[in-house]
Structure 1
Amino acid sequence: MNISLNGYGEQMATFEAEAGVTPGMPVKMTGNGKVGAGTALDAFCGVAVSVRGGFAAVQLSGYVTVPYSGTAPTVGYQKLNCAADGKVQTESTGRSLLVTDVDTAAQTCGIIL
């Protein structure tokens, strides 16, 4: 991509992190102030940017690059949700998000949360 959307509208919050949460994965709310890894077809609230000491900084809005599973999303508004492997997937029941770029070689896509 010839432009950069990094930093666009970024907002983060810190949550307690369940075991298995790693940077770069979509996460869902699992309890009061707690996030965990999503399972297949779960709606995600954001993307874990860093995880340390049992806490995760979660990006809740703005541009982020995430790995995807299955069919590559296309640019434009797509419905995305969690895949079983810590990635996102396109699905008719997902959250409608703007996909700005897709890298099929790296199996990542840029989205605006």
Structure 2
Amino acid sequence: MKPTDTHNQKIAALIFGSVYPHYVKKVETKGRTVAELHEVIEWLTGFDEKKLQELIDEKVTFKTFFERATLNPKAELITGVICGYRIEEIDNPLTKQVRYLDKLIDELAKGKKMEKILRN
């Protein structure tokens, strides 16, 4: 399945801070910690906890969030299916980056070891 232009536009316009609590709930429900979630986000984006909170407070969209991020060079190693989409087949760079984040959080929630999640 390939994301449509409408789908890509909706993702770009989503406010990161409105989705973030769902990430927290997902990982905590599965016995992982917010600290681990922040480690995963920082690995992918370069944002430490302080910067992450600033972006949430600023109510940035995913578009702005990833424009300001310094994507980890190993992010391209993130593959597989998330939300019905095969990551390596997504053409839109922003949608692909959001799905990278979704995939990492999914792996965290599923109990994968941090070394594997962070592609070490």
TM, length-normalised to structure 1? 0.28
| Structure with higher strand content | 1
More relative contact order in 1 or in 2 (CA 8 Å, sep 6+)?
Answer: 2
TM, length-normalised to structure 2? 0.27
